[in-house]
Amino acid sequence: MIGPPVLVVAEIDGAGPTANSLELLTVARNLATGSGRVVVACLGTRIGEGVGSELAAHGADAVVMVDDPIFTPFQADAWVHELAAIATELKPGTILVPHSLAGVEVAPRLAFRLDTAVATGCVGLDLVDGDARWTRSCYGGNAREVVSIHTTPVIATIAARAFDPLPANQAASVAIDRRPATVDPGNVRARVIAKSAAMTTGVRLENAKVVVSGGHGLGGAAGFEQVRTLAALLGGAAGATRVACDLGWCPRAWQIGQSGKTVVPDLYFALGISGAAQHMAGCGNAGAIVAVNTDPDAEIFKSARFGIVADCNEFLAALIEEIRKVRP
């Protein structure tokens, strides 16, 4: 028996799909085992030639591509309308959406538009007798819940890096269904009226492979200048705890955690950070955490791959010097 398809909403960044979009295909293939197809919906403007084959290489069976200027910059009214139209036609059993800035706005609205329900920020999927159980973080990272949804389509946003993309199969081919946008520009009520590129030089926190982050233990704004220096040396981005932002030691935009940004770097330096759950909610999925703290019993060491008990400022200065030697 052929089951209903799994619909994956892909996002495009530059020439290709985002890493998170490819990770969704892993989840989709899990759900589609033995039954339905994996269909990717791709909305954008001047979508690159290679997007379809890259999606195919990582697990897509078919791609619905709607290429129209109305989809960039992202405006939820346009996306929700188009995706609801696609879903109404394809009748998927599940819709997977990246847990991105756009995805967290699209998925809940799509759920209500299609009269179903959504699980956001999922980090795990288990199939129990074919029934999907989604694991997600809650209570600021202090707890996890496993939830199921019994209305269709089930909608889930998937956290970045919770799943690995499937190995690329370059031989895979895909049927691309290009279609015109059906959204009426007059129905886009909330509109982007001004947008400017980031003024910050360097890497965006959300995309950074390395994040250097400071907390209360750094003691003041001077420590955060060091944080900035180390981040720049490593080609990464600088972050901070809420307390450090509240104290005005660094820009508010650096805040990482439940009430700030979520980062998923390969390497995360936690300098003078105690490791409160609210902070870990924003960095707990990092590949490896290097923690530096004067208190060997600090909570942060429970999440750290490498632990250093030292004065953060002294250590930071020494680390900057050492990195300069290795990477002149």
Partner 1 sequence: MHIVICIKQVPDPEIAPSVFRVDEVAKKVISLAGTAPVINPFDEQAVEAALRIRDAEQDPANVTITAVTMGEATSEKIVRKAMALGVDQGVTLVDAAFADSDAYATARALAAAITKLGDIDLVLTGRQAADSDAGVVALGIAELLRLPAITLAKKIEVADGAVQVERAVSEGEETMAAPLPAVITIAHELGAVRKPSLRETMRAGRKPVRRWGPDDLGMDAESVGRAGSRRVVERLYQPTRDVDCEWVSGDEPAAIAKALVGRLVEQKLL
β-bridge partners, 27? none
Q: How far is the CB of 53 from partner 1 (least distance, A)?
A: 27
Site for partner 1 in 103-142 (CB under 8 A): 104-105, 108-109, 111-113, 116-121, 133, 136-140, 142
Q: Choose one: 27-35, 50-58, 190-198, 211-219; the region binding partner 1 (CB under 8 A).
A: 190-198
- Sequential DSSP letters for 58-125: TT-SEEEEEE-GGGSS--HHHHHHHHHHHHHHH--SEEEEESSTTHHHHHHHHHHHTT--EEEEEEEE
250 near partner 1, judged by CB under 8 A:
no
Task: Copy the structure tokens of residue 174.
Answer: 């895909």
- Give the Å distances, CA to CA, from 163 to 19, 24, 105, 211: 10, 8, 21, 20
| Of the residues 146, 175, 221, 222, which one makes contact with partner 1 according to CB under 8 A | 146
Q: Choose one: 15-23, 48-56, 178-186, 283-291; the region binding partner 1 (CB under 8 A).
A: 283-291
Q: Which residue has the tokens 């490593």?
A: 234
- Give the integer Cα–Cα distance in Å for 262 and 250: 17
- Give the integer Cα–Cα distance in Å for 77 and 11: 16
Q: How far is the CB of 174 from partner 1 (least distance, A)?
A: 29
Q: Which residue has the tokens 């985002």?
A: 18
Strands 38-44 and 62-67: parallel
From residue 150 to residue 179, what is the string marking binding to partner 1 with x (rule CB under 8 A)? xx----------------------------
Q: How far is the CB of 171 from partner 1 (least distance, A)?
A: 29
Site size with partner 1, rule: CB under 8 A: 90
307 near partner 1, judged by CB under 8 A:
yes
181 near partner 1, judged by CB under 8 A:
no
| Of the residues 69, 266, 294, 295, which one makes contact with partner 1 according to CB under 8 A | 266
| Of the residues 39, 86, 234, 270, which one makes contact with partner 1 according to CB under 8 A | 234
Angle at 77 between CA 135 and CA 182, to 5 degrees: 110
Nearer to partner 1, 37 or 242 (CB): 242
Nearer to partner 1, 2 or 199 (CB): 199
Site for partner 1 in 61-100 (CB under 8 A): 73, 75-77
Q: Contact 263/205 with Cβ under 8 angstroms?
A: yes
Nearer to partner 1, 138 or 175 (CB): 138
Q: Choose one: 32-40, 49-57, 164-172, 201-209; the region binding partner 1 (CB under 8 A).
A: 201-209
Q: How far is the CB of 36 from partner 1 (least distance, A)?
A: 22
Q: Contact 106/66 with Cβ under 8 angstroms?
A: no
Task: Copy the structure tokens of residue 196.
Answer: 């400017």
233 near partner 1, judged by CB under 8 A:
no
Task: Copy the structure tokens of residue 212.
Answer: 């250097």
Instruction: Say how far residue 280 (Cα) sits from the centre of its chain.
Output: 15
Nearer to partner 1, 15 or 143 (CB): 143
Q: What is the 3-state secondary structure (H, E, C) of 238-252?
A: EEECHHHHHCCCCCH
- Give the integer Cα–Cα distance in Å for 269 and 239: 9
| Of the residues 85, 147, 166, 172, which one makes contact with partner 1 according to CB under 8 A | 147
Q: How far is the CB of 138 from partner 1 (least distance, A)?
A: 5
295 near partner 1, judged by CB under 8 A:
no
Nearer to partner 1, 139 or 175 (CB): 139
Q: How far is the CB of 147 from partner 1 (least distance, A)?
A: 5
